[in-house]
């Protein structure tokens, strides 16, 4: 144990740099998932027939393709048609974001369908456009349903960054693999790497449980409902 602790103190600065990259990569992928997922969900809710079919097709395809396959398509496949993303970090962020958008769109869909449909019809009856109704009436009420699932997805996204190792993205797992080639101590390094992932994910896990509890009690609507731009003091 003493040997492990001594070695861990030497390895931690190197592994920490990889962890920072993993968190940044998860952040890039999550921003893309949130943005594109909302566009897809809005297309299904208020778009015409062609838009709805296109959005649903995209969602089904991306949810059916493994993240690793999407990574290979983006990094190794796109260059064959002239689209080259030389930086492995951005290629991984794009691949993970495109895959995550399909799942995020479903999270949005469930949230947007949670308010009573009569509210949407009533807002249209008083002269609001479909987009305004979605933005000002439906979306604020959907946030309490969306947030716990979205936070849980962010935790999954952090763990999915390990896939980026296959294209040599300098994230945490890649740093661990390189460290093993020099130290020949895989068990200790993998344990330390797992502990770092756990430490990074625990705050997100705690936030997910906290949001889920408040959603069950109906208190998230008070925090994030119409006219409440942010968290109130508990």
User: For position 230, what pLDDT does the model report?
Assistant: 42
Q: How far, CA to CA in Å, does 145 sit from each of 24, 28, 82, 191, 233?
A: 26, 23, 41, 35, 20
d(Cα 40, Cα 142) in Å, to the nearest integer? 16
Domain count, the chain: 1
Structural domain contains residue 205: yes
Structural domain contains residue 32: yes
- Give the list of residues 6+ apart from residue 103 with CB closer than 8 angstroms, or none: 33, 37, 62, 63, 153
SS3 category, 213: helix
Higher pLDDT, 142 or 151: 151
The predicted-structure confidence for 14-50, as pLDDT tens digits, reads as follows 999 999 999 999 999 999 999 999 999 989 988 889 9
% of the chain with per-residue pLDDT over 90: 62
The predicted-structure confidence for 153-184, as pLDDT tens digits, reads as follows 999 999 999 999 999 999 999 999 999 998 88
pTM: 0.85
Structural domain contains residue 21: yes
Structural domain contains residue 231: no
Structural domain contains residue 72: yes
Structural domain contains residue 106: yes
Instruction: Check which CATH number belongs to the domain holding 42 and give it.
Output: 1.10.3720.10
Structural domain contains residue 232: no
The predicted-structure confidence for 100-133, as pLDDT tens digits, reads as follows 999 999 999 988 888 777 776 788 788 888 788 8
Q: Judge whether 14 and 81 are in contact, CB under 8 Å.
A: no
d(Cα 190, Cα 175) in Å, to the nearest integer? 11
Which domain, by its residues, includes 65? 2-224
Structural domain contains residue 203: yes
Higher pLDDT, 87 or 216: 87
**Burial class of residue 172, CB neighbours in 10 A (0-12, 13-18, 19+):** buried
């Amino acid at each position: 144990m003493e040997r492990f602790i001594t070695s861990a103190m030497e390895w931690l600065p190197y592994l920490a740099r990889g962890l920072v990259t993993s968190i940044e990569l998860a952040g890039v992928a999550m921003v893309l998932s949130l943005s594109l997922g909302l566009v897809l969900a809005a297309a299904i809710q208020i778009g015409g027939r062609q838009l709805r079919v296109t959005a649903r097709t995209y969602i089904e395809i991306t949810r059916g393709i493994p993240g690793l396959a999407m990574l290979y398509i983006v990094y190794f496949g796109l260059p064959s048609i002239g689209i080259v993303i030389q930086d492995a970090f951005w290629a991984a962020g794009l691949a993970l974001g495109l895959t995550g958008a399909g799942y995020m769109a479903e999270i949005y869909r469930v949230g947007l369908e949670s308010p009573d449909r009569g509210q949407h019809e009533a807002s249209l009856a008083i002269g609001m456009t479909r987009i305004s109704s979605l933005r000002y009436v439906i979306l604020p009420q959907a946030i309490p349903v969306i947030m716990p699932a979205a936070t849980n997805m962010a935790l999954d996204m952090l763990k999915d960054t390990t896939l980026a190792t296959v294209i040599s993205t300098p994230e945490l797992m890649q740093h661990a693999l390189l460290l093993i080639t020099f130290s020949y101590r895989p068990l200790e390094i993998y344990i330390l790497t797992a502990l770092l992932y756990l430490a990074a994910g625990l705050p997100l896990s705690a936030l997910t449980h906290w949001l889920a509890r408040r959603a069950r009690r109906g208190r998230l609507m008070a925090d994030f409902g119409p006219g409440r731009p942010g968290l109130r003091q508990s």
